[in-house]
A and B are shown apart, each in its own frame.
Chain A
Amino acid sequence: MLRVIVRRLLQLVVTLIGLSALVFIWLRNLPGGPIEALLGERATPERRALLVKALGYDQPILVQYGKFMQRLLTGDFGNSIRSGDPVTEVIGRAFPATIELAAAAMIIAIGLGVPLGYLAARHRARLLDNLSIAGTLLGISIPIFFLGYLLKDVFTQNIHWFPPSGRISTGVDNTNVTGFFVLDGLLTREFDATADALWHLILPALTLATIPLAVIVRITRASVLDVLNEDYVRTAEAKGLRHKTIRGRHILRNALLPVVTTIGLQTGALLSGAVLTERVYNWGGLGTLIYNSISGGRDYPVLQALILLAALVFVLVNLLVDLSYAFIDPRVRVR
């Protein structure tokens, strides 16, 4: 087991180094760049030349990459080109926001999705099942951007139930401990802040939860249906075991395997969904950061770090999925 983990982690390092080189060179070959963004309408050839020199863009790209790697090994990702803040700080600020949003969305998706999927399967071809199928189809196909704006329009402009954007209201005092506003409020006993942060969290979390929710309902349903037809379930029923035991030990435990895989895969999709959701709700997380770093002038250092971070998360989530497989299904362990 440990050997597997070590091997996978080594693979991860190699992947990241290769990716970093690719990203570094690719970014610098995109049209436009930080120079134009920094100079705006006031760009002159002299000014451009000075900035190119100051930023070291006049050196060969391999030299630039070498320096970047050198700094990276000391844990220095550089600074945001626009604000001059260390990239680690910039990402460190945005990271909790996105995790908070993604976690809330995932809680909604799993909390509703698994029971719904199970119920749909148990009531196959009846009203509940048909409703869930129609609902999931809609959930998967509706563009997240559209849904976000729709929910926002209805619940913040027509019915004023929720705030239009942001993570916390102006004027609410909150002490930033972990960067997770909901948690911070609990830690510092500023319950106002927690309530306000939750109030801001609901709409974006619902928006982001739609796709994973639909997917989880579908997979759970299909998977439970498969298991229901298995001999051991029939055997268990024939043995007259309690319904609860059958549901937990026989059906769900076996049916959850593909669901866990899906949850893992959805985590990646969740991050891309977060980019759009955050844009709609001005959430100030990684999604907003990615968008601004690209459109707001190609902030190379931030983008490089974000892409590497995304790759890291992706690989780690995959590793976790594989490990939890082994945990749930003894057969995998033998392999």
Chain B
Amino acid sequence: MQASRLKAAVALAAAAALAVGASGCAKSERDEDSGGAKTGGTFVFAGAGNPKNFDPIFNDDGESFRPIRQMYDTLVQNKPGTADLQGALAESWEHDPEGKVWTFHLRKNVKFHDGTPFNAAAVCFNFDRWFNMKGAAAQSQMIYYSDVFGGFAKNEAEGAGEPVYNKCEAKDDGTAVVTMNRYKGAFPGAFALTALSIASPEALKKYDADTVKQNGDSFEYSAFANEHPVGTGPFTFGGWDKAKGEITLNRNPDYWGEKAKVDKLVIKVIEDENTRKQELRAGTVQGIDFPAPADRKALSGEGFQVLDRPAFNILYLGFNQKNPKLKDLRVRQAIAYALNRQQLVQTKGPGGTKVADEFMPDTVLGYAPDVQKYEYNVDKAKQLLKEAGAENLTLNFYYPTDVSRPYMPNPQEIFTVLANDLQAVGIKVNGVARPWNGGFKDDVQQFGKQDLHILGWTGDYNDPGNFVGTFFGRAKVEFGDQAMTEMFDAITKADGTVDEAGKKAAWEQVNRDIAAKWLPAVPVWHAPPAIVVTKDVKGLVASPLTDERFNTVSVG
């Protein structure tokens, strides 16, 4: 027994030596393969987590959307590198004056990966499928759909509200007419959402896509979602090797748009941020996402391309007005004056971070250039606190741990700086650290245990409602469940304005009033997240919406 174990150890050592040798050979052969090639080859990108599945409508996170974006198209898409719209599966579109009837003129000669034609009937099949989705399990996973369209044909959730969607008609092969019950500011931007990608009706039916089985306390998705996703995109599904943690996509030679330059796209799941960086340095992956702010300089110094995405997010400091002291506008304003946001940006923000004066980036319609700005002013803060009789204020400040979000790469450091600012004007701060999924979101958004907290958001499409409406369009526990009816009504009205000029004016006024009159939170900063690729990767366009499509990418 002893001897055989020793032998095994020796064998392992021998095999290891062999392996090192063999891999050395393998490496050098591979280098020659891709040397100087502009097309072909493989692009390996490191994902930070497993996708949930590949049925667009049931997903809402970046790791699932990354592969989905390569396999599917939407009716409308974001111009590469911006949040502006351009045609995709629909070459053009228009709506009636009320904003209820949307007509899409579709691209001709487009085929799904399974060879079936893309046409108006296929578009309507998708819209009807979403609207008629049955069962609590399925509906609970359609986050973006319910965001945009409210309710379903048969609502499983109480309070889902009146459905926005009414019907879809295929006028002819190339024209789909979608009728809504009412206008929403989300249109047309929302038609570019990855979740609303158009899938092959044949494949949806064949692989039973609508069946989300409930099994005890979890769900089971269909074969369509797991093994047979079929869209019209520049890459087709090659496979998901879960033991290896690799998703393989192949070039779609029949793509209607710019055909992919690489033959193969591999998304390799590496959960640990540090390891992603090391794989990049070892040359085993050619791209990583969301590098830590501290690493950016180092990586570009080493010759990697650190591509900054235009910031399409916001970090804010929220007030819980359940605390009567915070119900006093003067106290909220005092806190806004007390924060040295400029310094925070310089010391803790990734390069290119800007102080935020409003709760949306300045590229979004309705951004008002003339809102009240709260420049750092300790005296003013102290004076306001005095006026409000809140000089001995003690506040619980909640911040999340073990998480890094694009708008908040380093929550703990951000908290420390902000808390110091508050203490400098005489406010006592009790910092409460909670794990992101282990209490922070529960305590802040469900139970409202905090007085102050930091949180934020990355926008989904170019619409003020997606930012301001999401935060302040209704009473939320996060801000103390306050019935700030004046604010809610103003937002509802702005969101429902169809005409562009009127909409712009309405939102500008909302932004002015939020800053001067309501101040439910303090906007802190807009931080541009980065995406990093090796020197020999060309053609990757960083998108503010993290909507990067890899068909334009070449390696070598």
Instruction: List A residues at the B interface (Cβ < 8 Å).
Output: 30-33, 36-43, 45-51, 53-57, 64, 67-68, 71, 76, 78-86, 93, 97, 104, 107-108, 110-112, 114-115, 149, 152, 156-157, 160-172, 174, 176, 179, 192, 194-196, 198-199, 202, 252, 279-282, 284, 288, 291-292, 295-298, 300-301
The residues of B that contact A192 with a CB separation of less than 8 Å are 22, 26
Apart from A149-B274, A166-B244, A296-B49, 19 more pairs, CB < 8 Å = A32-B442, A41-B456, A47-B146, A54-B214, A68-B217, A78-B218, A79-B219, A81-B217, A82-B52, A85-B242, A111-B6, A152-B278, A165-B279, A172-B26, A176-B243, A192-B22, A288-B271, A295-B437, A298-B438
Which residues of A are found within 8 Å of B379, using beta-carbon distances? none
* Contact in complex: A156, B221 (CB < 8 Å): no
Q: A152-B278, A198-B16, A292-B271 are in contact. Are A107 and B218 (CB under 8 A)?
A: no
Task: Report the minimum CB–CB distance from B186 to chain A (whole Å).
Answer: 14
**Measured between alpha carbons, how far is A110 from B455 in the docked complex, in Å?**
51
Write out the residue numbers on chain B whose beta carbons fall within 8 Å of the beta carbon of A295: 402, 435, 437
User: Contact partner of B215 among A45, A49, A78, A163, CB < 8 A?
Assistant: A78
Residues 226-252 of chain B, each 1 if its beta carbon lies under 8 Å from chain A, else 0: 100000000000000111111000000
| B residues less than 8 Å from A298 (CB atoms) | 437-438
Q: Shortest beta-carbon distance, B255 to chain A, in Å?
A: 24
Whole-angstrom distance between the alpha carbons of A161 and B275 in the complex? Answer: 16
User: Which of A81, A112, A156, A165 is in CB contact (< 8 Å) with B9?
Assistant: A112
* A108: B residues at CB distance < 8 A: 9, 12
| B61 contacts partner chain A, Cβ-Cβ < 8 Å | yes
Closest to A115 in B: B6
- What is the CB-to-nearest-CB distance from A254 to chain B, in angstroms, rounded to a whole number? 14
Pull 15 A–B residue pairs with CB atoms less than 8 Å apart, ordered by A. A42-B147, A47-B140, A50-B136, A50-B160, A53-B140, A53-B156, A55-B214, A81-B218, A108-B12, A114-B5, A156-B282, A172-B26, A196-B23, A252-B2, A298-B438
Contact A196 B272 (CB under 8 A): no
Q: Chain A residue with minimal CB distance to B18?
A: A195
Q: Is the CB of B224 closer than 8 A to any CB of chain A?
A: no
> Chain B 44-88 against A: per-residue CB contact (8 Å), 1 yes, 0 no?
100001101100000011000000000000000000000000000
Expressed in whole angstroms, the minimum distance between the Cβ of B153 and any Cβ of chain A is 15
A46, A165, A172: the one contacting B160 at CB < 8 Å is A46
Q: Least Cβ distance of B471 to chain A in Å?
A: 10
Contact B6 A84 (CB under 8 A): no
Known: A31-B439, A170-B266, A176-B243. A198 touches B19 (CB 8 A): yes
A164 touches B275 (CB 8 A): yes
Known: A42-B147, A163-B282, A171-B30. A195 touches B15 (CB 8 A): yes
What distance in Å separates the Cβ of B323 from its nearest Cβ neighbour in chain A? 21
Q: Which residues of A contact B214 (CB under 8 A)?
A: 54-56
Question: Contacts A46-B157, A282-B271, A295-B402 known; A54 to B140 CB distance under 8 Å?
Answer: yes
- Which residues of chain B from 446 to 503 have any CB-CB distance to chain A below 8 Å in the complex? 446, 455-457, 477
Flag if A168 contacts B244 (CB, 8 Å): yes
> Chain B: which residue is nearest A37 at the CB level?
B437
Contacts of A33 in B (CB 8 A): 437, 442
CB-contacts of B196-232 with A (<8 A) = 212, 214-221, 225-226
A32 and B439 within 8 A (CB) = yes
**Is A111 a contact partner of B9 (Cβ separation < 8 A)?**
yes
Chain B interface category by residue count: 35 or more
In B246-281, which residues have CB < 8 Å from any A CB? 246, 266, 268, 270-272, 274-275, 278-279, 281
Is the beta-carbon distance between A107 and B19 smaller than 8 angstroms?
no
- The answer to whether B18 touches A163, judged by C-beta atoms less than 8 angstroms apart, is no
Residue B343 at the chain A interface, CB threshold 8 Å: no
Could you tell me the distance in whole angstroms from the C-beta of B100 to the nearest C-beta in chain A? 24
Choose from B49, B52, B275, B438 the contact partner of A32 (Cβ within 8 Å): B438
B284 at the interface (CB under 8 A from A): yes
Q: Give Cα distance in the complex from A164 to B275, angstroms.
A: 7
Residues of A within 8 A of B272 (CB): 165, 279-280, 282
What is the minimal beta-carbon distance from B213 to any residue of chain A, in angstroms?
8
Chain A residues with CB below 8 A from B95, complex form = none
Q: Is B340 an interface residue (CB 8 A)?
A: no
Q: Give Cα distance in the complex from A157 to B302, angstroms.
A: 13
Whether B42 is near chain A, meaning CB under 8 Å from some CB there, is yes
Does the CB pair A31–B442 fall under 8 Å? yes
Q: How far is the CB of A47 from chain B (nearest CB, A)?
A: 7
B157–A40 CB distance below 8 A: no
Residues of A within 8 A of B455 (CB): 41
Task: Mark interface residues in B1-45 (1 if CB within 8 Å of A CB, else 0).
Answer: 010011011101001101110110010001000000000001010
Residues of B within 8 A of A110 (CB): 5, 9
Closest CB in chain A relative to B50 CB, distance in Å = 6
- Tell me, rounded to whole Å, the shortest Cβ–Cβ distance linking B377 to chain A: 31
Closest residue to B475 on the A side, CB-wise?
Answer: A45
**Other-chain residue from A49, A166, A179 in contact with B157 (beta carbon distance below 8 A):** A49
What 8 A-B pairs come out closest when comparing CB atoms? A111-B9, A31-B439, A32-B438, A54-B136, A199-B19, A50-B157, A164-B278, A79-B218
Q: Does B327 contact A (CB under 8 A)?
A: no
The reply to whether the CB of B96 lies closer than 8 angstroms to some CB of chain A is no
Question: B279 to A196, Cβ gap below 8 A?
Answer: no
Whether the Cβ atoms of B244 and A167 lie closer than 8 Å is yes
Residues of A within 8 A of B156 (CB): 50, 53-54
Q: Is A169's CB under 8 angstroms from B20's CB? A: no
Residue of B nearest to A79 (CB): B218
With both beta carbons as reference points, the residue of chain B lying nearest to A182 in the complex is identified as: B15
Residues of B within 8 A of A164 (CB): 275, 278-279, 281-282, 284
CB neighbours (8 Å) of B440 from chain A are 32
Chain A residues positioned under 8 Å from B242 (CB to CB): 85, 93
Docked CA distance A161–B2 (Å): 31
Q: Does the CB pair B52–A64 fall under 8 Å?
A: no
CB distance from A298 to the nearest CB of B (A): 7
B315 to chain A, nearest CB (A): 12
Q: Is the CB of A46 within 8 A of B402?
A: no
Tell me the nearest residue of chain B to A53, going by C-beta: B136
The answer to whether B60 and A42 touch across the interface, beta carbons within 8 angstroms, is: yes
Interface status of B158 (Cβ within 8 A of chain A): yes
Most buried by A among B52, B226, B285: B52
Tell me the bound Cα distance from A169 to B121 in angstroms.
43
A84 to B159, CA, bound (A): 27
Decide yes or no whether B322 CB sits under 8 A from chain A: no
At the interface, yes or no: B445 with Cβ under 8 Å from chain A? yes
A167 surroundings in chain B (CB, below 8 A): 243-244
Instruction: Point out which of B20, B437, B443, B445 has the most chain A C-beta atoms below 10 A from its C-beta.
Output: B437
Name the B residues within 8 Å of A40 (CB-CB): 60-61
The answer to whether B437 and A161 touch across the interface, beta carbons within 8 angstroms, is: no
A194 contacts which chain B residues (CB < 8 A)?
15, 19
Q: B143 at interface (Cβ–Cβ under 8 A)?
A: yes
B137 within 8 A of A: yes
Instruction: Please tell me which one of the listed residues A51, A81, A114 contacts residue B2 in the complex, with CB atoms under 8 A apart.
Output: A114
CB of B490 to closest CB in A, whole Å:
20
* Most chain B CB atoms below 10 A, which of A86, A162, A166, A192: A166
Nearest-neighbour CB distance to chain B for A71, whole angstroms, equals 5
Residues of chain A lying within 8 A (CB to CB) of residue B441:
32, 36, 43
The smallest beta-carbon distance between B464 and chain A, in angstroms, is 17
B217 engages A78 (CB within 8 Å): yes
CA–CA, A296 and B403, complex, Å: 10
Whether B217 and A195, one on each chain, are in contact in the complex, defined by CB atoms closer than 8 angstroms, is no
The answer to whether the Cβ of B434 comes within 8 Å of any Cβ in the partner chain is yes
